[in-house]
């Protein structure tokens, strides 16, 4: 009976065909997933977004009796596309306890409506900020941004960049429990 080491001692390399196999695997996965996810976008049912400015957003936050998740996005922003499904899911799960607000910056109305239709984000309110002045006035920089506000408008947390599921769920839990 050979020892464990002897049975491990095997000179044949396994790595010779790695690139070809990996490419085949990735290509097959892309084709399968791509075929399953045809995006049908019909923005006709989405109303044009109402323009807003920093003062109006501050007023909205101050008047809110619920905590607010305020997401800054744009249709041209690739990371915003990636986090949009998470925000939709979070709104479906927590929309009765937390107010969700979207601010579309430096964008066109057509682009904004297509984005909302594509990701099914019409469940919560969105505003149009063509000059992109609101995020800077609230203390953020860049896109995407996600602000978490306690009732009454005090900032609990600002997340810059793409937000992940765990962080979004944790911060919403903080808002609901009044951790700020």
Partner 1 sequence: MEFTLLGAVAIAVGLMYATLWFEGGRTNAADCTRDVWDALITGAMAGLVVGRLVAMGRGGVNPVTNPGDILIVRAGVDTIAATVTALVGFGFMVRRDLWWMADSAAPAAVAGLAGWHAGCLVRDACLGTPSDLPFAVAQTGSNITRHPVEIYAALLLLGVAVLLIAWKRSRPAAGVVASVAALAIAVVRMATEPMRPVLGPSLITWYGAAAVLAAAVLAWRVRSVRCAGGT
Rule CB under 8 A: choose which of 57, 61, 90, 134 binds partner 1.
90
Rule CB under 8 A: choose which of 65, 78, 96, 141 binds partner 1.
78
**Structure tokens belonging to residue 78:** 């690739």
Task: Give the nearer residue to partner 1 in terms of CB position, either 52 or 98.
Answer: 98
Contact between 101 and 136 under an 8 Å Cβ cutoff? The reply is: no
* Chain-centre distance for alpha carbon 92: 14
Task: Give the nearer residue to partner 1 in terms of CB position, either 94 or 127.
Answer: 94
Contact between 140 and 72 under an 8 Å Cβ cutoff? The reply is: yes
Task: State the minimum distance, in angstroms, from the CB of residue 56 to partner 1.
Answer: 27
Interaction of residue 42 with partner 1, rule CB under 8 A: no
Task: Give the nearer residue to partner 1 in terms of CB position, either 133 or 169.
Answer: 169
Task: State the minimum distance, in angstroms, from the CB of residue 145 to partner 1.
Answer: 14
* Residue span binding partner 1 (CB under 8 A) among the ranges 21-29, 44-52, 101-109, 131-139: 21-29
Contact between 105 and 52 under an 8 Å Cβ cutoff? The reply is: no
Composition of the chain by helix, strand, coil, percent to 5:
45, 15, 35
Rule CB under 8 A: choose which of 93, 97, 131, 152 binds partner 1.
93
**What mask of x and - would describe binding to partner 1 in positions 133 to 172, judged by CB under 8 A?**
-----------------------xx---xxxxxxxxxx--
Total residues interacting with partner 1, rule: CB under 8 A: 57
The angle that helices 109-119 and 78-94 make with each other, rounded to 10 degrees, is 50
163 HSE (CA, 13 A, CB side): 31
| Distance from the first to the final alpha carbon of the chain | 65
């Amino acid at each position: 009976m050979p020892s464990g080491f002897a049975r491990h001692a095997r000179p044949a390399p396994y790595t010779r065909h790695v690139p070809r196999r990996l490419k085949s695997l990735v290509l097959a996965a892309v084709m399968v997933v791509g075929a399953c996810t045809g995006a049908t976008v019909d923005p006709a049912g989405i109303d044009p977004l109402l323009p807003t400015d920093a003062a109006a957003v501050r007023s909205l936050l101050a008047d809110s009796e619920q905590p607010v998740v305020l997401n800054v996005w744009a249709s041209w922003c690739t990371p915003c596309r990636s986090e949009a499904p998470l925000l939709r899911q979070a709104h479906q799960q927590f929309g009765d306890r937390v107010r969700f607000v979207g601010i579309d910056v430096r964008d066109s109305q057509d682009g904004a409506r297509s984005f909302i239709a594509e990701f099914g984000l019409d469940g919560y309110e969105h505003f149009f900020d063509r000059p992109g002045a609101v995020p800077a006035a609230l203390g953020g920089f860049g896109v995407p941004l996600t602000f978490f506000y306690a009732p009454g408008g005090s900032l609990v947390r600002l997340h810059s960049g793409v937000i992940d599921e765990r962080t979004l769920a944790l911060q919403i839990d903080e808002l609901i429990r009044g951790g700020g």
